[in-house]
Amino acid sequence: MALVDQKTRSITVQTLHILEKGQDPHQFDWQTGGYLSIEAYEGFNAWHGRLQRKQYRADWPYDGVQRDLSRFDDLVKLLQPIPRDRIYPEFPADELTLFRPQQGADSEALYLKAPKLGHYQDGSDDLAVRLLSEARVHERILRNPHPNLDSYLGCVVEEGRLVRLALKRYGESVHDRSQSATPRGFTFQQRMGCMDQVEAAAAHLHSLGLAHNDISPSNIMFDNTGRAVLIDFDSCAPLGNTLTKGGLVSGWKGPIAGEGPQFHRSSATCDELAIQEIRRHLAEGSDLSVEEAAAANGSRCNRDVTAPEDITKRGTSSAEA
């Protein structure tokens, strides 16, 4: 059974706001400045590039997975093809789980995660290293399970290389639910219960010597029973390790360059601050008044979290969003 059709095409666009070192975020043109980071796949073949946002925004007017693929062939001429061995590591069969699809299983419930090409550098195998690292994190969790970290099904292998992570597909994030539900449809108690589960998931990671380093409203999903599940482990790393991705804490808005502290090493504090900020936002948008929410949830939203020295303070980050 072929999990990935070699003729299947996809295009994903992401706006990048890149600040120069020392640049004041308030002086940046947030409306039209920056780039469009574009990744394209045809089967396991991949292309990546950055196009000037001001010049190409009209052609690709929204971020995310593109519905119109009619210009695929023209687009990839503007992008850089990426050799397979630069993004797909060799599969270590003795330490990772091979995904074996079940006959008759619901394919809609399956998410095949491909490498994110936005940080690819010519000639570098960093993406392959990162994909293998993420798979190893999932294996660690698989052997030390937690109900709020339950998304991994195994690895998809092609010609001896790890090409996709097979994950459970979830239909709704905490961001989605807070945007679509009324305050009474997503109550204060439900919101805090969700974040209690996320906090438990993060604490479990920390007990394994890991930190997530990228907890955001889009990385907290709900399964079909309403249980919160923390996903997306491509920034997860052993505590104290230098980070090559993640580490930005911008609260509800997610990682945005120039806003919030930035951690340069994998840190439980990074996770704790992110959870605290998301919890605070959810409390303020609940069915309780701001005063009632603060009184009911003050200890949860105002914990004394001590930041390590290895951190860039608010407003001084030069990272990419």
Residue 1 lies in a domain: no
pLDDT tens figures, 116-149: 998 788 888 999 999 999 999 999 999 999 999 9
Residues 88 and 127 in one domain: yes
Residues 96 and 162 in one domain: yes
Residues 219 and 250 in one domain: yes
Closest of 97, 118, 93, 106 to residue 246, by C-alpha: 118
Q: Which residue would you say has higher pLDDT here, 316 or 133?
A: 133
Residue 132 lies in a domain: yes
CATH of the domain at 238: 1.10.510.10
Residues 199 and 284 in one domain: yes
How far is 289 from 140, CA to CA, in rounded Å? 41
DSSP 8-state assignment for residue 19: P
Is residue 318 very low, low, confident or very high in pLDDT (cuts 50, 70, 90)?
very low
How far is 115 from 45, CA to CA, in rounded Å? 11
Residues 296 and 185 in one domain: yes
How far is 207 from 53, CA to CA, in rounded Å? 42
Residue 321 lies in a domain: no
pTM summary value: 0.83
176 is written with which tokens? 């989605």
Residues 23 and 75 in one domain: yes
Domain endpoint, select from 120, 143, 169: 169
Q: Quick count: other Cβ atoms within 10 Å of Cβ 237?
A: 26
Mean predicted lDDT score pLDDT of the chain = 87
CB–CB of 19/25 below 8 Å? yes
Domain endpoint, select from 138, 169, 200: 169
Is residue 317 very low, low, confident or very high in pLDDT (cuts 50, 70, 90)?
very low
Counting the structural domains of the chain, the total is 3
Residues 307 and 203 in one domain: yes
Residue 100 lies in a domain: yes
Residues 296 and 216 in one domain: yes
Strand order in the sheet with 228-230: 172-173, 220-222, 228-230
Domain endpoint, select from 110, 140, 169: 169
Residues 46 and 112 in one domain: no
Exposure string for 67-90, b = 16+ CB within 10 A, e = fewer: eeeeebeebbeebeebeeebbbbe
Residues 125 and 212 in one domain: no
pLDDT at residue 319 tops 70: no
Residue 319 lies in a domain: no
Residues 152 and 272 in one domain: no
Residues 296 and 184 in one domain: yes
DSSP 8-state assignment for residue 26: G
Residue 112 lies in a domain: yes
Kindly report the three-state secondary structure assignment for every residue of 102-161: CCCCCHHHEEEECCCHHHCCCCCCHHHHHHHHHHHHHHHHHHCCCHHHCCEEEEEEECCE
pLDDT tens figures, 36-48: 999 999 999 999 9
pLDDT tens figures, 255-302: 555 567 889 999 999 999 999 999 999 998 776 555 555 555 555 555
- Find all residues with CB under 8 Å of 1, minimum gap 6, and list them: 101
pLDDT at residue 3 tops 60: yes
Residue 234 lies in a domain: yes
- Taking CB atoms within 8 Å and a gap of at least 24, the contacts of 307-310 are 307/261, 307/269, 307/273, 308/263, 308/265, 308/267, 308/269, 310/263, 310/264, 310/265, 310/267
Owning domain of residue 21:
6-82
pLDDT at residue 108 tops 60: yes
Residue 320 lies in a domain: no
How many residues appear in the chain? 321
How far is 307 from 261, CA to CA, in rounded Å? 9
Closest of 130, 129, 131, 154 to residue 141, by C-alpha: 154
